Amino acid sequence: MGGSVYGCEEIVLRADQTLKEAVQLFICYEINEIPVIDHQRREIGRLTWKMLLKALADKWDDDTTIKALWNAQETAVEHIEEQPADVLSKSDTSVSELITEIQQLKLELQEAHSMVEMMKTVLDSAYEGIAVVDAQGIIREINKAYCQFLGIRREDAIGKHVTEVIENTRLHICIESGIPERGFIQKIFDQPMVVHRIPIWREGKVVGAIGMLIFQGVSEVYQIFQRVQELSRQASQKERQIKRAASPKKQISGLDSIVGRSPAIAEIKQMVRRAARVPSTVLITGESGTGKEVLAKAIHQSSPYVDGNFVSVNCAAIPESLLEAELFGYEEGAFTGAKKGGKPGKFQLAHKGTLFLDEIGDMPLYMQAKILRVLEEKKVERVGGVAEMELDVRIIAATNKNLEEMVQKGQFREDLFYRLNIIRIHIPALRERKMDIPYLLAYHMERICEQFGLKQKEFTKEAMQALMDYSWPGNIRELVNVVEWLVGMVDGQKIEKEHLPSHILSSALFIKNSHEREERKNSIEQTDAHWQDIVDYYEREKIKQALIEEKGNKAAAARKLGMHRSTLYEKLKKYNL
């Protein structure tokens, strides 16, 4: 009979002995394996410390017998007898090291458990309501304060979709967009609440979100605001003036500079966030005045190039004869009137930063070739110079023209187009995202009033509706000009409909009269028809007329009708046009 003998004592285990007894033997004698014998004291196998450790890790009961353990592992006594003695191999790690590792794991488990308990205590002690959801919007944690406010039990909320538990929630939308929503108003039980919604990012993906109910109600925000105002009134006039003079102006940068809540703007913010992570060239398209330079600055301010300069060049505003010298710079004496000592170009000034080439579609063909060479070689040579300079510049280009059509007509180099069109971001016209108009009006009203030192003005419902109905052919640039005009021309704090510029009022009147004419025509010609059929009839006629006027160009017809191109395609399919 094989066995391990230490001194005069033979160390063996019977098949009917327990795991607890086996652990005691391993610890007592610090051995790596113990022979296992049957009732006739024949050796039927060997129990190693690894097998014992696995049993403990699998949470086997201490009173489990060695035979029961082997049977569960499908290791019958007959099979063990067939195995050579060296199958149950020894390990270089001693039992004492094993015990140390187990103790360390136990300590780490205790620390993790303690940390979990501590976090639960923090959550339940928090005054704010806190809910945590996973990537599918399923509630994984919710604290005591939130449960008390909602009148539910924690166990009834865990595992449910957030929309089933929290009224008017947008946490699931926050997960989809990846955009944090701080200080939003959410109605719960008909009470306005101040909430934060913060997406949780991990390895470039949104894996969940945290919802925070900051106050018990908006009334408490007003109370806090009133207390702050009372403290401010207690300060002297002189101290307030010093503070205003010393305080820096509020800077809006990065994604915060992109104003709007429409799905199109949410998608653009996502693309900006992704584009900022890499140095690839970005091409921004959109009508004039849609905010292409604002978007370019947002990418720059969110990118690793933020410490460098943001240099903007309007390719349409610089004369062709001066464009090359402006972009690449020139050496002293390069041409008549050249500045003494030469001058660095825009590319050189943007080294380690971002160069924004606005209106790239208006760049002459010969300059397009030079730009392409710089983009490919990352080097620039001044006019009249002989030495090339290495460049590390992020290029962002923008245009309001259709570059694909220009390439087909030979007006724009195809190779440069493909070099620029790596990451493409299109900004829809303002008429295609009307839900952003109130946010833009409020943002620029606050900004301009603060800039002029005036008290902020407010729009009446009628004025806001007229501004929403207006088509804004000049997009955001026109909107900013209208807000500045209203700030200067309106004396009171309320902006009424009659205060609006005449061209906006004329547009609103035209829309109103058009509706009235259509209604009269409907009542005369279609008295017996269903109202939806009437609407469809006139909508179909307007689409047909727009297609005729634009000679079948669907993109132009969509712009004329004030709808998105995808919406036009759906209606063409609906009316079989």
Which two structure tokens, joined as six digits, stand for 198? 């913060």
422 shares a domain with 324: yes
pLDDT reported for residue 222: 52
| CA gap 315, 332 in Å, rounded | 24
pLDDT (mean) for 287-311: 92
pLDDT reported for residue 8: 39
365 shares a domain with 314: yes
DSSP state for residue 93 in the 8-state scheme = S
266 shares a domain with 399: yes
Please tell me whether residue 390 adopts helix, strand or coil conformation.
strand
pLDDT (mean) for 157-179: 90
**Residue count (the chain):** 577
Parallel/antiparallel/unpaired status of strands 423-426 and 282-285: parallel
Is residue 567, in this structure, part of any structural domain at all? yes
Boundary of a domain, candidates 92, 110, 143: 92
pLDDT (mean) for 82-94: 42
- Of 183-187, 229-233, 393-397, 425-429, the range with the lowest mean pLDDT is 229-233
Which two structure tokens, joined as six digits, stand for 258? 């992109």
pLDDT reported for residue 561: 74
Is residue 183, in this structure, part of any structural domain at all? yes
pLDDT (mean) for 154-177: 90
CA 456 to mean position of chain CA atoms: 31
Of residues 350 and 28, which shows the higher confidence score?
A: 350
- Of 205-214, 330-339, 416-425, 538-547, the range with the lowest mean pLDDT is 330-339
Confidence band, pLDDT 50/70/90 cuts, at residue 231: low
Out of 48-57, 374-383, 538-547, the most confident range is: 374-383
The CA distances from residue 536 to 229, 455, 522, 524, 540, in Å, are 55, 46, 12, 17, 6
What is the overall mean pLDDT for the chain?
78
293 shares a domain with 152: no
Of residues 540 and 351, which shows the higher confidence score?
A: 351
DSSP state for residue 456 in the 8-state scheme = P
- Of 202-206, 500-504, 532-536, the range with the lowest mean pLDDT is 532-536
| CA gap 50, 358 in Å, rounded | 69
CATH number at residue 285: 3.40.50.300
pLDDT cut 90: percent of the chain above it = 24
452 shares a domain with 409: no
pLDDT reported for residue 478: 92
- Of 141-155, 231-245, 276-290, 456-470, the range with the lowest mean pLDDT is 231-245
With 90 as the cut, is the pLDDT of residue 482 above it?
yes
pLDDT per position as a tens digit, 242-269: 544 444 444 555 778 888 888 899 899 9
pLDDT per position as a tens digit, 91-150: 444 455 666 777 777 777 777 777 777 777 777 666 678 899 999 999 998 888 888 888
With 50 as the cut, is the pLDDT of residue 218 above it?
no
pLDDT per position as a tens digit, 4-28: 434 435 788 888 888 888 888 877 7
pLDDT reported for residue 236: 47
pLDDT cut 70: percent of the chain above it = 78
pLDDT (mean) for 171-198: 85
pLDDT reported for residue 2: 40
pTM value is 0.48
195 shares a domain with 145: yes
Is residue 109, in this structure, part of any structural domain at all? no
pLDDT reported for residue 177: 84
Boundary of a domain, candidates 479, 508, 537: 508
479 shares a domain with 436: yes
With 50 as the cut, is the pLDDT of residue 528 above it?
no
Is residue 487, in this structure, part of any structural domain at all? yes
201 shares a domain with 290: no
**DSSP output for 396-449:** EEEESS-HHHHHHTTSS-HHHHHHHTTEEEEPPPGGG-GGGHHHHHHHHHHHHH
Out of 34-48, 50-64, 536-550, the most confident range is: 34-48
Q: Which of 327, 346, 324 is nearest to 335 (CA)?
A: 324
Q: Based on the number of CB atoms within 10 Å of its own CB, is 296 exposed (0-12), middle (13-18) or buried (19 or more)?
A: buried
Out of 514-518, 534-538, 569-573, the most confident range is: 569-573
pLDDT (mean) for 491-515: 75
pLDDT (mean) for 217-224: 51
CATH number at residue 546: 1.10.10
Is residue 373, in this structure, part of any structural domain at all? yes
| CA gap 475, 211 in Å, rounded | 35
pLDDT reported for residue 5: 37
Is residue 43, in this structure, part of any structural domain at all? yes
Of residues 216 and 334, which shows the higher confidence score?
A: 334
pLDDT reported for residue 414: 93
422 shares a domain with 276: yes
pLDDT (mean) for 302-317: 90
| Domain span holding position 143 | 126-221
The count of structural domains within the chain is 5
pLDDT reported for residue 24: 82
Boundary of a domain, candidates 92, 109, 140: 92
350-351-357 Cα angle (round to 5): 35
| CA gap 324, 318 in Å, rounded | 10
Which two structure tokens, joined as six digits, stand for 273? 């966030």
Is residue 343, in this structure, part of any structural domain at all? yes
Q: Which residue has 């199109």 as its token pair?
A: 264
pLDDT reported for residue 217: 47
130 shares a domain with 52: no
CATH number at residue 198: 3.30.450.20
CB 93 within 8 A of CB 50: no
Is residue 326, in this structure, part of any structural domain at all? yes
Please tell me whether residue 168 adopts helix, strand or coil conformation.
coil
With 70 as the cut, is the pLDDT of residue 158 above it?
yes
| CA gap 165, 132 in Å, rounded | 12
pLDDT reported for residue 103: 72
CATH number at residue 500: 1.10.8.60
305 shares a domain with 337: yes
Confidence band, pLDDT 50/70/90 cuts, at residue 52: confident
389 shares a domain with 283: yes
